[in-house]
Amino acid sequence: MARQKLTVVAPAYNEVEGIEPFVKSLLEVLDSLPYDSTVLLVNDGATDGTGEVLDRLHAAHPGRITVLHLSRNFGHQAALTAGMDHADGDAVICMDADLQHPPSLIPELVERWQQGFDIVQAVRRQTANVGWMKNLTSRAFYAAINFLSKTHIEPNGCDFRLLSRPVVEVFRKELRERDRFVRGLVSWVGFRTSFIEFDASPRYAGESKYSFRKMLSFARTGLISFSKMPLKVAVFFGFSVSLLSLSYGVFAVFAYIFLSKQVIPGWASTILVGTFLGGCQLLFLGLIGEYIATIFDEIKGRPLYIVAREQRAATGRAESAAVDGNADTLRSQQP
């Protein structure tokens, strides 16, 4: 009987200094396990020479390493999806290529998989060299999304996880939405899940590619993808403000008739009410616009990513190279 196979998926964007140490450490761990294994590295439109390093790694390990070169930078979630779509293992391990996700944790992930769990999610206890502001905003985000959404997302969960083949097939064939929040989708599918805590190390080299603006966009995607509650809050808030305005109108009539000597004429109340209501209208129009923008992206039906070039490991299974019913890849002819 053929041995089970593991595929490790790692997106890489401008990781030229750290990608080789990452792959070396990863292969050492995989070689210690009694499974066939391959590594699938996704070049997410890197501009610093990462693509050339990935080509060298494939040439050095042609039977172990597959490289996908995306046509441009599509973002971490899209690159992660590309790797999952092309992975052919019985279990797929997703992780970052900056060594903050320790390869040494992989044997424990695999052990939980062998115990019958379809999803084994790594959860950060703490991250080295991360300031209090990022920790605070992270806790606030998870508290907000778990309050507003029916899908519980594990706080401090990350994109370091093991997925069984049935879960990967659900992602390949069913979950093709454009605004992707993979952490939420992993929770939403509902397979048997186990959690493993770990301490994240500092980045091996370079800086995080998630700027404050990208983190805000990531949070926006998560909230809109998994909760309609902001729209319901807008309706409730609008109703409450209307009720308060009506109450103020009744009070104004009462004051004019019975308390005319105590009423001080002026523009303050008029300006305050007008600007408050105007601000609320703009705020909620913007909120509705975010949902409409998400719908617009879905209607256009563009692919999640485009593969410009693929260098597949010699042992890969050809049938998993394409996603059924979804033209997400554009392949170059290889000599």
Instruction: Report which DSSP code applies to 333.
Output: P
From CA 65, how far away is CA 58, in angstroms rounded?
5
Closest among 5, 18, 22, 83 to 48, alpha carbons compared:
18
Give the rounded distance of the alpha carbon of 283 from its chain centre: 26
- Considering Cα of 74, then 76, then 79, then 84, what sign does the dihedral take? negative
The pLDDT assigned to 84 comes to 94
Secondary structure class of 72 (helix, strand, coil): coil
Residues 6 or more apart in contact with residue 315 via CB below 8 angstroms: 36, 38, 63, 64
Residue at 69: amino acid letter: H
Question: Distances in Å between the alpha carbon of 291 and those of 75, 101, 226, 228, 303?
Answer: 20, 33, 11, 9, 20
Q: How does strand 65-70 pair with strand 36-43?
A: parallel
Cβ contact 328:85 at 8 Å = yes
CB atoms within 10 A of CB 38: 24
Which uninterrupted H or E stretch holds 41?
strand 36-43
Question: What CA–CA distance (Å, rounded) separates 225 from 149?
Answer: 9
pLDDT reported for residue 211: 61
42 vs 46: CA distance, rounded Å: 10
| Coil vs helix vs strand at 121 | strand
- Return the C-alpha torsion angle 58, 325, 149, 128, nearest 10: 0
pTM attached to this predicted model: 0.75
Cα distances (Å, whole numbers) of residue 120 to 30, 69, 204:
17, 28, 24
Residue 254 confidence (pLDDT): 74
CA distances 173 to 71, 319, 330, Å, are: 22, 14, 18
Element (H, E) at 238: helix 229-258
Task: Yes or no: say if 85 and 330 are a contact pair by the CB < 8 Å rule.
Answer: no
| Predicted confidence pLDDT, tens digits, the chain (335 residues) | 568 999 999 999 988 888 999 999 999 999 999 999 999 999 999 998 899 999 999 999 998 999 999 999 998 999 999 999 999 999 999 999 888 899 999 999 999 999 999 999 999 887 766 666 777 777 887 787 778 778 888 888 888 999 999 999 999 999 988 888 888 899 899 899 999 999 887 766 666 656 666 677 767 777 777 677 777 777 777 777 767 777 776 776 776 677 665 555 554 567 566 767 776 777 777 778 778 877 877 888 888 899 999 988 875 433 333 333 343 444 333 33
Instruction: Report the alpha-carbon distance of residue 11 to residue 109 in Å, rounded.
Output: 19
Token readout for 65 is: 């390493």
Residue-level pLDDT at 12: 92
